[in-house]
Structure 1
Amino acid sequence: MPGHTQQAAEIIDIEGWRPDDQFPTYPEGTREKSMWISPQSSPVSFLMGGHRYLFKHASHRYPTQFWCEVIAYRIGCLMGIPVPPAYAAWKSSSQQSAALIEWFYRADEEVRYESGTVHMKRMIPDFDVKKGRQHNIETLLTILAGIDEKLILDMTKILVFDAAIGNTDRHQENWGILWRGDPPRPELAPAFDNGTSLGHEIMDDKIPDFLSSPMKIAHYIDKGQHHMRRTSTGSEGKCGHFELVAWLLDQYPESRRDLCQCLEFDRDGMNTWLAALPNFAIPDAPTPERIQFIERLLHFRMERLHAVLTRRD
């Protein structure tokens, strides 16, 4: 799943693109975003012509957060996890930078999408839609097994991906089922909305403390939690990222080889690409120090994942 590796000379300017008439301003989520239709004749080879794209800004508090979407896409490609293509972009007239994220189905495609909320409410009638406190892995696995057991491995890989990037926001609206074809066949939607990850909330002035202390980075990673709990009662609290992966491996030991393969990619090549991101000539490019911080986080997380996935009890 190679995808496209965006280079500094390939920054996308959406100036002149047509706003999406259906969703000119996208209503969901906490960060400002808008929908745009790419030109029929795409300005670059890696964009689809006449296709819907989400222009997803960072928050004012965390102005470089949109880079987490771009980086998460590249990591997903390397791990073999379906993630919507996400590229560094801007609107030159407003000097607004954002992640430009490819919509995961075409406007003319016969497809039905069902969010995780829909499925959770079928299983848990009083499901707390606002906070998602009953969002849990046991119910999710029951849902997937009832649709197609092959989806369980696909979801497990997404949860390994979440552990790799430290995603804390895979809530019930951030996964879903796509039904395509005739007759319709189910598949998991690609792993979208990956911005709450990769240490996005650590301010630039705090990063030197992390770079000078491996123990501080390890402690930060240890505190990370997934959005999901183990059970619907949630009495045990949210699962730690690596705790969740270990539990899944206990439930599905036959998945070990597939999950280990997700970690078998060229990390040096990834780091070389990461190191070039400060050279992207748009507002709010990441600092070299932030990129070093992200590299360290990824290194520690990958090592932890490898230890979890290769342990033999």
Structure 2
Amino acid sequence: MLRDISKWDRIGYGGKSTLEKEELRSPDKIDYLIKYPRDTKVGVSWEDITELVAAEIGSILGFETMDVEIVIRNGRRGCLLRNFVRIPEPVPNEEGGVLLSSFDEYQILQATSSLKGNDLIDYGFTLMNKLPYWEKIERKFLEMQFFDIIIGNQDRHPYNWMLMFYSPTDVRLSPIYDNGASLGFRFDDEKLIEVISNEAKLNKYTKNTKVKAGLFERKKVKAKEVVDYLLRNYPIESKEIIENIVQFDLMSYNAYIQGLPILTNSQKEWLMNH
């Protein structure tokens, strides 16, 4: 039985987003955000559940992701996210897109650049290296890249990560958030079975996976190209992260998936085998 939070106070509407959101305050005065699955004309949307599963994958890997719970509010299912932003902050937190947009090159990259593949990735990371905080967040940003590739995140644009200023000198990358547009979140049961039962289709799905790499608002690059770029330009960090990924506790993950009653059998099979 999912927890019912219908009586929690609504304190806001979560700002501009493709998903409907509400900012909530629990009876013990802790702030949360609830996100509801989007309406879609093609397939289904189980984006709240993929947000939950992605957080578990991150947890098993030792990456810092948001706390997620599937709940019911006023008869609707959604994913409940605990607010990780501390208020008040000594210095305002800033989304990545806000920071990068201070560079003229960022506007060119998003609007008119015809670069593709490795050249596009290199251009984006050149901008990241211009940030005065890059050395402080580099490792976490690289972890986020590999995490997004693992889950097939389709929506890691520059406004889906944030720098948190605990003090003017203590700057950290936020926990990895907005992970729901991943893991086949728009595939209905029929499509899930169709892909995982056909090795050629599954390989094609994996090979053709594209990501925004936390750098692009509308452009995407192949996940494989991102991995190749990171291995060339950040070889030590990338190899360490990959070694950690290789040791992923698959038994714990499969047990977690099998224990989620909100998943259909097709979704369970997909999440354990894709």
Per the normalisation by structure 1, the TM-score is: 0.76
Instruction: Find the aligned partners of 1:217 and 1:133 in 2 and give their Cα distance.
Output: 34
Match of 2:117 in 1: none
Match of 2:47 in 1: 65
Match of 1:214 in 2: 199
Match of 1:3 in 2: none
* Kept in 2: contact 1:81–1:157 (CA 8 A): yes
Q: CA offsets, 1:77-134, max 9 Å, x none?
A: 111111111111111xx310001011112334545211111122112266279x6776
State the aligned residue count: 262
- In the alignment, structure 1 residue 141 sits paired with structure 2 residue 128: yes
Q: 1:51 aligns with which of 30, 35, 40?
A: 30
Match of 2:227 in 1: 245
Tell which deviates more after alignment, 172-181 or 101-110.
101-110
Q: 1:115 aligns with which of 75, 83, 95?
A: 95
Q: Give 1:153 deviation, angstroms.
A: 1.4
Distance 1:229 1:60, change over 3 A: closer
Q: Give 1:214 deviation, angstroms.
A: 2.1
Tell which deviates more after alignment, 285-294 or 255-264.
255-264
Match of 1:294 in 2: 271
What amino acid sits opposite 2:206 in the alignment?
I
Match of 1:305 in 2: none
Instruction: Find the aligned partners of 2:183 and 2:230 in 1 and give their Cα distance.
Output: 23
What amino acid sits opposite 1:35 in the alignment?
E
Q: Give 1:184 deviation, angstroms.
A: 3.9
Runs of 5+ unmatched residues, structure 2 = 114-119
- In the alignment, structure 1 residue 12 sits paired with structure 2 residue 16: no
* Kept in 2: contact 1:141–1:152 (CA 8 A): no
Matches within 5 A, 1:148-187: 148-181=134-167, 183-187=168-172
Q: Give 1:34 deviation, angstroms.
A: 0.6
Instruction: Find the aligned partners of 2:106 and 2:209 in 1 and give their Cα distance.
Output: 28
Distance 1:151 1:76, change over 3 A: same
Match of 1:196 in 2: 181
Residue 187 of structure 2 aligns to a residue whose secondary structure is: coil
- In the alignment, structure 1 residue 76 sits paired with structure 2 residue 76: no
Residue 87 of structure 1 aligns to a residue whose secondary structure is: strand
What amino acid sits opposite 2:153 in the alignment?
N
Q: Give 1:140 deviation, angstroms.
A: 4.4
Q: Give 1:59 deviation, angstroms.
A: 1.2
What amino acid sits opposite 2:55 in the alignment?
Y
Residue 247 of structure 1 aligns to a residue whose secondary structure is: helix
* Kept in 1: contact 2:106–2:127 (CA 8 A): no
What amino acid sits opposite 1:152 in the alignment?
E
Instruction: Find the aligned partners of 1:263 and 1:151 in 2 and give their Cα distance.
Output: 23
Tell which deviates more after alignment, 254-263 or 170-179.
254-263
Q: Give 1:204 deviation, angstroms.
A: 2.1
Match of 1:25 in 2: 13
Q: Give 1:259 deviation, angstroms.
A: 3.6
Residue 100 of structure 1 aligns to a residue whose secondary structure is: strand
Distance 1:262 1:132, change over 3 A: farther
* Kept in 1: contact 2:157–2:216 (CA 8 A): no
Runs of 5+ unmatched residues, structure 1 = 1-8, 41-49, 280-284, 298-313
Q: Give 1:143 deviation, angstroms.
A: 3.5
Match of 1:100 in 2: 80
What amino acid sits opposite 2:268 in the alignment?
I
RMSD over equivalenced CA pairs, Å: 2.6
Per the normalisation by structure 2, the TM-score is: 0.86
- In the alignment, structure 1 residue 257 sits paired with structure 2 residue 240: yes
Distance 1:179 1:230, change over 3 A: closer
What amino acid sits opposite 1:166 in the alignment?
G
Residue 90 of structure 1 aligns to a residue whose secondary structure is: strand
- Percent pairwise identity: 25
Residue 122 of structure 1 aligns to a residue whose secondary structure is: coil
